[in-house]
Structure 1
Amino acid sequence: MREEKGVIIRTLQEDINNLKIEQASTLHQLSSTLSHLSSTLSQVADLQHEQNALRQELRKEQNQRLTIQEEVNRLKSKGCQCDNSSRNSTLLPHDIQTVKEAITFDLQLEMKQQNDSIMSEMSRMEKDVRDVKAKIRATAMTISGLVSSVSDLQTQIYFSAGTIRDVNKQWKTNEIIVFPHVLANVGGGYDASSGVFTVPKSGVYVLTCFLSTHSSSMYAKLILNGNPVVGITAVTNDVSDVDTGGNAMVSRFQQDDRIWIQFYIGHFLWTMSDASVSTFSGFLL
């Protein structure tokens, strides 16, 4: 029976080590994701800076366009004056209107090409910004999930308690067996004075109990909120004989559920002076 207890304790230690490894891996993944988010935010800032620069360039081009338009209007006005004076003078060239129209066409074509180029570049940048924002939202969701995972990993709950002194007493039916020697109590769920484990957080738990008896056989029960769930039996047929019985269970419990070991039939628990033989343990998966 000691070998079985040793196997369970080693299994608990392995589960705890695996949780620590998983937590370290999750924290590393979170760090990598945060680094990626920082890089993405830097790209967004660069795009926004470039977009502002293009907007300034567009305003500059629009101002130039207004200036050119004013110059075209001035030329048109001058051309009209020249047309009026050409009727009375043969010194002005007859094709000044043609030159004016050619200049105007070239200027308008150049402005249109520049405007189309700027608008196309701004559309591309706006698409890039939308894509980056989508990546940020996805990264934020990933970070939220990782933070939740890390929080769950950091919430470790386990306890183990026993007795290293012979409780030299006649146990009464339905009396709670108290294990005063606390080996571990992470999460603070076990009360060494009452022998009751109060569930700190809802989840799936593994619970075990081993009881050693002498002088007579004994039977005890694991109780959940006043209701028996599993039994523990240790059988001996001699006053000098010692026997150990145990049981284990895996179940989902709700926060504030109360669990304890309750005596039913028998006489004495047997313990050693330097080690816990009778124990009550559990941990959150």
Structure 2
Amino acid sequence: MRCGNPSYILTFCAFFNIEQNSALLVHGNSNSTNTIHASSGHQIDSTEMMQLLLNQTAELRNLKQQTEKIQLLQNQTAELRNLKQQAENDRSTIQLLQNRVFFLEAELRKLNASKPPSSDELSAYLSNMKQIVLTMTANEEYDKNITKRLNDAVNNLENLKVEVRYTSLSLLDVHSKTKQLNTTLLRVFNDGMNGVNEQIANITRKVAFTVGVSSSDGSWNSGTLVFPHVVYNIGGGYDPNTGVFTAPVDGHFVFFVNVQSYSTNAIYVQLILNGSPKVIAMAETTGSSSNEAGPNLAVLRLQKGDRVWIKYYAGRGYFSYSNAPVTTFSGFLI
């Protein structure tokens, strides 16, 4: 009898490696953890999973030991069968001796009827009879011992049959648990991969920026307004060298621009999409007021590769601070 299929243990190790890989995919290499989080919120403690695998491995080793024990007892049973066959042969020999005794007794009766035996003949006869009786007694004891050993072997074999039935049930249970564990590991791995793919997709779709100018310019009056001071820029859509935002993905975007007038000057700027003006932000002063704000906001549908920037329209100059700009340009994907 065999003790299961060793591929079960290989299956445990393979899926345990899968489990570790899925955990690395979900959490990354920078922060190792003993818990796997799937996208559905399901959690599995890798320590508990490892303990389950160790328990099942110990159970398989126990099944192997029981199989070796069964093989040993089967060998002993074969030996006892040989002994039983020898005992049967001895019984045949005893039967032949008994027949011989009967024949000798018949011959003795004939001799007694014809003439009395001599003392030497009688002594030889009695000696032979005594030896035959001793041999028969020894063979009978030997037969009893063989019979007892055979009965013990049969009882042990019956007990082993019961153990084998329980072992078979345990092996089926281990196989069932292994299939369940494989299914669970595969589901967790797939969930983890789905979660990772979803996170990657979310990361690639996160687009947002806030930029500004870090100094004032009282004479600016043409061209694109470049915002070199980058406060935040995820998705890499804004180029601080050109002042142009290029959409990395398709979607709806919100843009906000605020231009601060320089002193008592007025300033007008346009939000441009691919060369087409969409909204105007203007900062005008009245009376003695100065450094007025000119905010505006636009929601635009962009295709990947569309370009948005801020362009001069009218007026002169803009105002800002070096540490925290007030003339700013922002945008984000919704």
Query: Taking structure 1 as reference, are residues 273 and 141 closer, same or farther at Cα in structure 2, changes over 3 Å only?
Result: closer
Distance (Å, rounded) in 2 between the aligned partners of 1:251 and 1:168: 34
Which aligned pairs between 1:219-238 and structure 2 lie closer than 5 A? 220-223=270-273, 226=274, 228=276, 230-234=278-282, 236=284
Query: Taking structure 1 as reference, are residues 203 and 182 closer, same or farther at Cα in structure 2, changes over 3 Å only?
Result: same
Which aligned pairs between 1:72-221 and structure 2 lie closer than 5 A? 72-75=81-84, 77-89=85-97, 91=136, 103=151, 105-148=154-197, 158-163=208-213, 164-171=215-222, 175-186=223-234, 188-199=236-247, 206-212=254-260, 218=268, 220-221=270-271
The alignment's TM-score, normalised by the length of structure 1, stands at 0.66
Query: Taking structure 1 as reference, are residues 154 and 46 closer, same or farther at Cα in structure 2, changes over 3 Å only?
Result: farther
Match of 1:278 in 2: 327
Deviations along 1:215-248, one digit per CA (max 9) or x if unpaired, are 567351232xx25484234375969775613113
Question: Match of 1:249, SS?
Answer: strand
Please give the root-mean-square deviation of Cα atoms over the aligned residues, in Å. Answer: 4.2
Query: Taking structure 1 as reference, are residues 86 and 62 closer, same or farther at Cα in structure 2, changes over 3 Å only?
Result: same
Distance (Å, rounded) in 2 between the aligned partners of 1:62 and 1:202: 71
The alignment's TM-score, normalised by the length of structure 2, stands at 0.57
Query: Taking structure 1 as reference, are residues 246 and 143 closer, same or farther at Cα in structure 2, changes over 3 Å only?
Result: same
Q: Which has the higher contact order (CA 8 A, sep 6+)?
A: 1
Instruction: Assess if the C-alpha contact under 8 Å between 1:211 and 1:246 holds in 2.
Output: no
Match of 1:33 in 2: 36
Identity of counterpart residues, as a percentage?
19
Distance (Å, rounded) in 2 between the aligned partners of 1:111 and 1:243: 94
Considering only CA atoms, is the larger Rg found in Structure 1 or Structure 2? Answer: 2
Match of 2:115 in 1: none
Distance (Å, rounded) in 1 between the aligned partners of 2:87 and 2:275: 107
Task: Determine if the alignment matches structure 1 residue 42 to structure 2 residue 51.
Answer: yes
Q: How many residues align?
A: 249
Gaps of 5+ in 2: 1-26, 38-43, 99-135
Instruction: Assess if the C-alpha contact under 8 Å between 1:216 and 1:239 holds in 2.
Output: no
Gaps of 5+ in 1: 1-23
Distance (Å, rounded) in 1 between the aligned partners of 2:164 and 2:226: 85
Match of 1:61 in 2: 70
